[in-house]
């Protein structure tokens, strides 16, 4: 079943909300968020206006990498609840016209998955080829491939004297996608979930499944797109489901391969080019430099124009792996509300499907830590140990973790100003941000001028104006460096989006007549735009006469 681009898919008009279940809402006082807690908060998400929830993994897992190490794809993690709770979540969400998008982690499993237990038991076991096993070379690993979590990507297994591949933690052995039995087992599991009524899949590091480790090819291997087309045909193809691939190595050209409807692969991809703009080129995410707004404009404009109408893009600032955007590129002190609204307006007026990460819609901030003992995240801990060994100063390492560590996104959701921010009656698994008494959902809902209502309005506009979904994008080149301004054009109508991406006043000038103010994060009304003084982080959307 192929779709022409004139066909609208529900996910092209949707806004997706990511829930990180461990940190969203605890219903039983054990300090860990759960499925019943999510059900209790569905009316809040309905009020926000979202169409789908991307649920971070809730499958059975020993939690070496917070659920991204799965030991059973068809069972629910005990602390999150039961399969009955999961089925109830799908049904309760459906009643509110919200679909559940499952996180599909099929590059690797947990080393506690039965497949791997069998695979490592002997070279003759039928499951041996479910994983990537190789003989060592000269007393070491098969080659010098590195794990994303630092150290070698090969682990010697004493039982058979061979090495298995793990591109992430050594408790996350990589599946061998070249084995058709592996692929069939994965498709059966996907159909198990599709039959439960889910709305689609977010696919974790899906660009790695075509790896050829012997040639040190990890991302974008030669068979990757064959595998995705096969997956499409055997699972979600023609079923009106949202599929989004996490593809760190994607360029616009590669993104079109994934998301061109004629190719029958995925709905869209997450691409991360903008995410690395505050890193020193060629170094790691921990080596920081200030964001250059000119570079951000260039990257966004490239993705907006080059994907065009051939593929489909996703739009995001935050997820469970990224720091809070208002702390990262906004100003979480003097201009928290203003800069959070500006970031929302800038992103949601672009073409593509926007994703909101829990707490983003109330302007939650990074939580500053003072010692490594306060860190839960395996990636941050590994980096800390590695850099201490290499002689980096403790203060510098903690500064990097405070800016970029994954725990920033994972602190519990701030619901109200009661103890533990209304997240739990017990001891939270990760400390709540100290600012919950001022930044919380209850406060946001009570304030008509809050960040929440800007997000609600942006979602509502997307539902009512095809221009936001289908319009073409044009960057305004002749502006001050820190002004990010662009047009959206559609069927003779033009909207102008202007964002002051700085804490200084800026002058913006344009000889055009404003016919309507669509949205603004100030009290201003716009009629003409010649020599307009923009306040710090001011943002507005206006219709202009052509």
- List of the chain residues with pLDDT < 70: 1-7
Which residue do the tokens 């000038």 mark? 509
> Which own/partner pairs from 35-40 qualify as long-range (CB within 8 Å, at least 24 positions apart)?
35/76, 35/80, 35/81, 35/85, 35/86, 35/88, 35/89, 36/81, 36/85, 38/89, 39/85, 39/88, 39/89, 39/92
CA distance 22 to 42: 16
User: What are the φ/ψ torsions at residue 307 (nearest 5 degrees)?
Assistant: -70, -35
* Full DSSP string of 221-284: -TTHHHHHHHHHHHTTTTS--EEEEE-TT--HHHHHHHH-GGG-S-SEEE--GGGGTTB-TTS-
Which of 64, 246, 260, 361 is catalytic? The answer is 246
Question: Which residues have C-beta within 8 Å of that of residue 188, sequence separation ≥ 6?
Answer: none
Instruction: Choose, from 26, 85, 111, 204, the residue flagged as catalytic.
Output: 204
What's the pLDDT at 66? 85
Per-residue b/e over 140-170, b at no fewer than 16 CB within 10 Å? ebbeebebbbeebbbbebeebebbbbbbbbb
pTM of the model: 0.96
Q: Is 535 an annotated catalytic residue?
A: no
Residue 168, pLDDT score: 95
Q: Which residue has the tokens 């839960």?
A: 376
Strands 268-270 and 242-246, how do they pair? parallel
The C-alpha atoms of residue 327 and residue 340 are separated, in whole angstroms, by 9
Active site residue 178: no
Partner residues linked to 145 by β-bridges: none
Which pLDDT value is given to residue 502? 98
CA distance 282 to 301: 23
Q: Could you tell me which residues come within 8 angstroms of residue 393 by beta carbon, excluding any fewer than 6 positions away?
A: none
pLDDT attached to residue 422: 98
Q: How far apart are CA 300 and CA 92, in angstroms?
A: 36
* C-beta separation of 2 from 258 below 8 A: no
Tokens of 366: 């990074």
- The helix (H) or strand (E) run that includes residue 75 is strand 72-76
**SS3 call for 159:** coil
Question: 470 with 476: CB under 8 angstroms?
Answer: no
CB 381 within 8 A of CB 398: no
pLDDT of residue 65: 86
Question: How many other β-carbons are positioned within 10 Å of the β-carbon of residue 299?
Answer: 16
At 7 the pLDDT is: 66
| Buried-state track 344-368, b at ≥16 Cβ within 10 A, e below 16 | bbbbbbbbbbbbbbbbbbbbbbbbe
**Cα separation, 434 vs 371, whole angstroms:** 16
Which residue's structure tokens are 């499958």? 59
pLDDT, residue 249, reads: 86
Find, among 262, 260, 299, the residue nearest to 278 by Cα. Answer: 299
Contact between 12 and 312 under an 8 Å Cβ cutoff? The reply is yes
CB 425 within 8 A of CB 432: no
Residues 6 or more apart whose CB falls under 8 angstroms from that of 335 comprise 503, 536, 537
Are 290 and 277 within 8 A, CB to CB? Answer: no
**Inter-axis angle of helices 451-464 and 336-348, to 10 degrees?**
10
């Amino acid at each position: 079943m192929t779709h022409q681009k004139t066909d609208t898919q529900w996910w092209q008009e949707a806004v997706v909300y990511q829930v990180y279940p461990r940190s969203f809402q605890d219903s039983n006082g054990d300090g860990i968020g759960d499925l019943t807690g999510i059900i209790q908060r569905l009316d809040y998400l309905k009020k926000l206006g979202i169409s789908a929830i991307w649920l971070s993994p809730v499958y059975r897992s020993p939690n070496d990498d917070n659920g991204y190490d799965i030991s059973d794809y068809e069972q629910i993690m005990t602390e999150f609840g039961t399969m009955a709770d999961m089925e109830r979540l799908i049904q309760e969400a459906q009643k509110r016209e919200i679909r559940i998008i499952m996180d599909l982690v099929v590059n690797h499993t947990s080393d506690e998955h039965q497949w791997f237990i069998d695979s490592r038991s002997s070279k003759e076991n039928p499951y041996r080829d479910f994983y990537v096993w190789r003989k060592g070379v000269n007393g070491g690993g098969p080659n010098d491939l590195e794990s994303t979590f630092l150290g070698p990507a090969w682990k010697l297994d004493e039982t058979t004297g061979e090495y298995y591949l793990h591109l992430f933690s050594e408790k996350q052995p990589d599946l061998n996608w070249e084995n058709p039995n592996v692929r069939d087992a994965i498709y059966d599991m996907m159909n198990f979930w599709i039959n439960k009524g889910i709305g689609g899949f977010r696919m974790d590091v899906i660009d790695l499944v075509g790896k050829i480790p012997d040639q040190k090819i990890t991302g974008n291997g030669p068979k990757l797109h064959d595998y995705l087309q096969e997956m499409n045909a055997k699972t979600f193809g023609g079923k009106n489901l949202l599929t989004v691939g996490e593809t760190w190595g994607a360029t616009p050209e590669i993104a079109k391969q994934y998301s061109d409807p004629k190719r029958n692969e995925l709905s869209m991809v997450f691409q991360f080019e903008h995410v690395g703009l505050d890193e020193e080129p060629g170094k790691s995410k921990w080596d920081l430099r200030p964001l250059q707004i000119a570079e951000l404009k260039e990257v966004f404009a490239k993705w907006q124009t080059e994907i065009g109408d051939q593929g489909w893009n996703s739009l995001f600032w935050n997820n469970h792996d990224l720091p809070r955007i208002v702390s990262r590129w906004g100003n979480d002190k003097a201009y928290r509300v203003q800069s959070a609204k500006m970031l929302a307006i800038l992103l949601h007026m672009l073409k593509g499907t926007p994703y909101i990460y829990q707490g983003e819609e109330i302007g939650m901030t990074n939580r500053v830590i003072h010692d490594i003992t306060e860190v839960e995240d395996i990636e941050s801990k590994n980096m800390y140990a590695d850099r201490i060994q290499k002689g980096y100063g403790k203060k510098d390492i903690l500064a990097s973790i405070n800016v970029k560590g994954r725990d920033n996104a994972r602190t519990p959701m701030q619901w109200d100003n009661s103890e533990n921010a209304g997240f739990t009656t017990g001891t939270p698994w990760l400390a709540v941000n100290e600012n919950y008494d001022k930044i919380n959902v209850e406060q946001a809902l009570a304030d008509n001028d809050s960040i929440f209502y800007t997000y609600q309005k942006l979602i509502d506009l997307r539902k009512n104006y095809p221009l936001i979904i289908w319009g073409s994008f044009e960057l305004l080149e002749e502006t001050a460096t820190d002004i990010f301004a662009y047009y959206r054009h559609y069927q003779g109508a033009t909207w102008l989006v202007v964002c002051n991406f700085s804490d200084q006043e800026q002058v913006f000038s344009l000889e055009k007549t404003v016919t309507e103010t669509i949205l603004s994060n100030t009290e201003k009304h716009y009629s003409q735009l010649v020599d307009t003084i923009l306040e710090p982080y001011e943002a507005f959307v206006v219709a202009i006469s052509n």
